[in-house]
Structure 1
Amino acid sequence: MLMLSPLVAWADDLPSWNDGATKQSILDFVAAVTSAGGTDYVGPDERVAVFDNDGTLWGEQPMYVQLAFAFDRIKALAPDHPEWKDTEPFKSVLAGDVAGVAASGEKGLVQLIGASHAGMTSDDFTKIASDWIGAAKHPKTGKSYTEMVYQPMLELVSYLKANDFKVFIVSGGGIEFMRPWTQRVYGIEPENVVGSSIKSRYEMTNGKPAIVRLPEIDFVDDGPGKPVGIYTHIGRHPIAAFGNSDGDFQMLEWTTSRPGRSFGLIVHHDDAEREYAYDRQSHIGRLDKGLDEGPKRGWTIASMKSDWKQVYPQ
C-alpha cells in the first residue's frame, strides 16, 4: 500500500502557502515539537501558539478595524454632543481626518475610547460591536471586514490546532471587541483572546446584575504589554508567536527566549497589488525593528507577495 510521508500530508494542510523556505520552516518546527521521542519534542499541554490580530490574521489598512468602529460610534452619538464639532479629537473624527486624530495622541485615543466604548453594560457593548462587524464594509474593497481575513493564516491556525496546539489571539485591539466573533471567523474561542481592555465594575442596572464599562483604560496589550498579557491571561510560555509589526516584537522576543525549540514569524506586507505594501514608514502596523532584527534572531519573515498563493478566502 502506498504510504504518504508526513511531509506530504502536512504540506496539504497549508495549500495557500507557496512551497519554499517559509512554508518549510513552519513544517519543520511543527514536526520537531510533535515527534515523540525527538530531542525537540514538546508535550501537548505546553504547545501554546499566540497570534497578533490586526495585520496578522486580518487587514489593518487604511486604519485599524476597531478604530473604524470607534469613528462610526462617534458619528452616531454626535447629535447628542454638539460640542464635539469644535473639540478635538472628535472634530477630526467627524471631519474624517485620520491624521488629525493621530495628532491628538494617546490622550485623544483615550477620549475616543471612553466616548465610544464605555457608559453601557457589557451585554449592550457586545450587541453593538456584533451588529457593527456584521454590517460594516471595508472602504477600499466594499467587503465585510470578516471577509478580509488571511486565508494562509486561517490554514495555519487550523494546522496548529490539528497538531494539538492551544491557539490564542494576543492583540492590541480590545478584548471585548474581538471576543463576540473570533470563534466564528477564526475558530479561536473567546476565552483564548487576550487584548486591551477598559475598566469595568459590577452593579445593579434596572434591577438586574450587570458589568458596566467605564471610560478608563485598564490594560494596553501592545508592545511590552503583550508578554504581560500572555503571562496574566494564559499562564504558559508560548513556543510559537506570529505577528506583523514592531508592536509584536516583545511577544516574539519573549516567546523565542524559552529553552528548547521555538518559532517566531512576521507577516511582511509587501503586496500592493493584492493587499497593501507598507512597513518602516507606516503609521499603521509599522515594521522597522522587526524587519532588521527578526532574521538575526532566527525569526521567519513571511512575504505576503512571495509566500502566499492567495490572500483572502475565495
Structure 2
Amino acid sequence: MRILHRFEITRRKLIVTLAAVLVSTGAMWTAAPAQAQDDPLPSWNDGTAKQAILDFVWGTTQQGSPYFVPPAERIAAFDQDGTLWVEHPMYSQVIYCLDRVPALVAAKPELREVEPFKTVLTGDREAIAKLPMADLEKLLAATLTGMTVDDFKAEVEKWLAATRDPRWKRPYTALSYQPMQEVLRFLRANGYKTFIVTGGGQDFVRVYSEATYGIPPEQVVGTAGGIRFGYDKNGRPTLTKEPKLLLNDNDAGKPQGIHLMIGRRPVIAFGNSIGDRQMLEYTTAGAGARLGMLVLHDDAEREYAYGPAQGLPETKVGTFTQELYNEATNNGWLVISMKKDWKRIFPKGTAD
C-alpha cells in the first residue's frame, strides 16, 4: 500500500484512521467487494466520508488485509443524541422529564411553589431554558428516580408512544438518522458489535434501543444512577431507582464507561459534540486501524444547523466547537456534513 507523501507519517498518524489513508492515496480495498454487492449505504452521497466507512470496514474484515481486525475485537461505539437521532431543540430525555412534572406535583402538591417545579409548570420554555444547572439536576433526580425499574420502563414506553416531536409531529423514535441506521446495519453485517455510548440516561435509552437501532439493552452504556434492591408488598424482589449518580457518561466518562461496561477499546467511534471528544481520542489511540467520525449539523432546512464550528450558530445542546473541528483535522477524524454527505436524513415517510 502506498502511503501519503504530503507529510511525514508517524505510527500515530498511520493507525489513527485507515480510511483516511486509503481515500487519500487511492489504495482502495473496496474494488472487488464494492462491485460485487449492492450499495450498503444508499442514503449517503458519494464522497470522502462514505468511502472512508466502506474502505475501513472492508479493510478490517478481509482475511489477509494488513489491517484485519479479529471478530472479537470489532467494537463500534456510537453517541446517540445528535449522532443517531435528533437532539434539537432539546434532548428527548429532558423533554420527558419536563412532561413528568405535572404528575409529580399532583402526587406531591408541596412542590408546586418550589423551584424548579414552579417554573416548569408555567410552560414557559424560555424561562425553563434559563434554569441553573443545580435546578435542572434537582428536576432530573425527582422525575427519574423513586420508582422501580419496571415502573420506569413502563412510563417511558407510554411517553414514547404518545409524544410527538413539535416540528415534525412524529414519535421521537421515528426521527433516527437513516444514513446512520445504514452504518449500524453495515457494521453488524460485517461482524462488528455496535454499542451506544451516550450521556443520556442508560435506563431511558435501553427502553427503545433495540426496536429503534437494533442495539440490545446490554449494549447501551449511558449515564447511570444508583439502584436499591428490595421487596414489594408481595415479597417479590424489586430494583428501585435512587437519586445517586454512579456514572456521568459524558466527556471523560465515556471512555470510563466503555472500560467498565464493554471491557474492550472500540475500533470505531462516532460522535457529534464536545461531549464525545474523549471517546474519539480513546478509540483512535489504540493500536492498529482506527476510525473516528463526527457528525456536523449544517443543514437547517432538513434538520438543524449549529456549531459554532465553521461559523454555524452557537448552541448549548450538542456543541461542536471550532477547537473540536481542528482537533478532528489534526487527528485524522473525519467530519460528516449532513448537508453534503447525506442524501436524506430521516427514513422515508418521516420528514425529508
Task: Give the TM-score category using the shorter length.
Answer: over 0.9
1:133–1:306 CA distance, 2 compared to 1 (3 A): same
In 2, Cα distance between equivalents of 1:142 and 1:260: 44
Kindly indicate whether the alpha-carbon contact (under 8 Å) linking 1:92 and 1:98 is maintained by their aligned counterparts in 2: no
Residue equivalent to 1:275: 303
Percent identical across equivalent pairs? 45
In 2, Cα distance between equivalents of 1:89 and 1:219: 24
Larger radius of gyration between Structure 1 and Structure 2: 2
Report the alpha carbon displacement of residue 36 of structure 1 after superposing the two structures with TM. 1.3
In 2, Cα distance between equivalents of 1:211 and 1:241: 32
In 2, Cα distance between equivalents of 1:279 and 1:83: 40
1:249–1:34 CA distance, 2 compared to 1 (3 A): same
In 2, Cα distance between equivalents of 1:9 and 1:270: 34
Q: Aligned match of 2:327 in 281, 285, 293?
A: 293
Does residue 143 (structure 1) correspond to residue 176 (structure 2)? The answer is: no
In 2, Cα distance between equivalents of 1:164 and 1:148: 26
Comparing 145-154 with 205-214, greater Cα deviation is found at 205-214
Q: Deviations over 1:156-201 (max 9, x none)?
A: 0000000100110000001100112111110011110000011111
Kindly indicate whether the alpha-carbon contact (under 8 Å) linking 1:84 and 1:90 is maintained by their aligned counterparts in 2: yes
Residue equivalent to 2:55: 28
Q: Aligned match of 2:216 in 175, 181, 189?
A: 189
AA aligned opposite 1:233: M
Cα RMSD after superposing both structures: 1.5
Residue equivalent to 1:263: 291
Report the alpha carbon displacement of residue 270 of structure 1 after superposing the two structures with TM. 0.3
Residue equivalent to 2:161: 134
1:9–1:294 CA distance, 2 compared to 1 (3 A): farther
1:9–1:160 CA distance, 2 compared to 1 (3 A): farther
Kindly indicate whether the alpha-carbon contact (under 8 Å) linking 1:53 and 1:170 is maintained by their aligned counterparts in 2: yes
Q: What pairs up with 1:89-128 in 2 under 5 angstroms? A: 89-128=116-155
Q: What pairs up with 1:30-45 in 2 under 5 angstroms? A: 30-45=57-72
How many positions carry a matched residue from both structures?
311
In 1, Cα distance between equivalents of 2:145 and 2:65: 51
Comparing 103-112 with 116-125, greater Cα deviation is found at 103-112
AA aligned opposite 2:327: E
Does residue 214 (structure 1) correspond to residue 214 (structure 2)? The answer is: no
Report the alpha carbon displacement of residue 101 of structure 1 after superposing the two structures with TM. 4.0
Kindly indicate whether the alpha-carbon contact (under 8 Å) linking 1:223 and 1:246 is maintained by their aligned counterparts in 2: yes
In 1, Cα distance between equivalents of 2:126 and 2:263: 38
AA aligned opposite 1:194: V
SS at match of 1:5: helix
